[in-house]
Amino acid sequence: MMQHRWVALVTLLALLTYFWMGLQTGGARRKSGISAPAMTGDPLLERTIRAHYNTLEWLPMFLVSLWLFAIYWSELVAAGLGVVWIVGRIMYQTGYVRAAEKREAGFIVQALAVAVLLFGALGKIGWSLATGGA
């Protein structure tokens, strides 16, 4: 497994980013005075929760694609794209917390990173199956 240490590091950084977003949600709860389990009532809280939850929605697609791309194509390219995804998620979260319409740039960055990872892995696996493992 030592050959995948860069992708392992990026995986942990992605999870730490998600953890940081959870802390941001807690901070927004304190600022708004709205305790769990309530999730509405303050626009800042609602945007912070939504950014955090949207990251959770993307994590399975990102993590599986990241690892499959690393295995079938290149660990370093996968790790680099993983860093791009993390930057995109941070841009998305910070933009969304400021105003919902400011989340778009971060969304596009992270979505493109996942698209390359996903379709790159899918293409390589499909090619391998079609050519008998080449």
Q: What is the mean pLDDT of residues 32-56?
A: 95
Q: What is the pLDDT of residue 2?
A: 76
Q: What is the pLDDT of residue 134?
A: 62
Half-sphere exposure of 60 (CA within 13 A, CB side): 2
Of 49, 2, 45, 1, residue with least CA distance to 22:
49
Distance, in Å, from the CA atom of 88 to the CA atom of 85, rounded to the nearest integer, reads: 5
Q: What is the pLDDT of residue 1?
A: 56
Q: What is the pLDDT of residue 54?
A: 97
pLDDT tens profile 88-110: 999 999 999 999 999 999 999 99
Distance, in Å, from the CA atom of 114 to the CA atom of 27, rounded to the nearest integer, reads: 29
pTM for the structure as a whole: 0.94
Residues catalogued as catalytic: 30, 103
Burial class (CB in 10 A: 0-12, 13-18, 19+), 7: buried
